[in-house]
Amino acid sequence: MNKTELIEHVAYNADLSKSAAGRALDATLEAVRKTLQKGGTVSLVGFGTFSVSKRAARTGRNPRTGEAIKIKAAKVPKFTPGKPLKDALN
């Protein structure tokens, strides 16, 4: 499912226009992005939790030459599914 299909699904199930559903989805994603940028977490009970994880600096290898390269430390988004979501898949 891509973003357009998700908007159509939300519009149909929530009895909204596609443009209203698109604005709602965009606002939701923006809120999640801003919260993660501030280092916070977003918990959706029954679905899961979005958070920020730190990846340490490390040494990697260039696959073409085999030479060692340094990979910088980074903050990465992380999603932990909730129990109801896990149970729905198994």
User: What does the pLDDT look like over 38-58, one tens digit per residue?
Assistant: 999 999 999 999 999 999 999
* Sequence ranges of the domains in the chain: 3-89
pLDDT of residue 30: 97
DSSP calls for 7-52: HHHHHHHTT--HHHHHHHHHHHHHHHHHHHHTT--EEETTTEEEEE
What are the residue ranges in the chain where pLDDT is below 50? none
pLDDT of residue 56: 96
Record: fold of 3-89: HU Protein; Chain A (4.10.520)
Q: What's the confidence (pLDDT) of residue 26?
A: 97
**pTM of the predicted structure, to 2 decimals:** 0.80
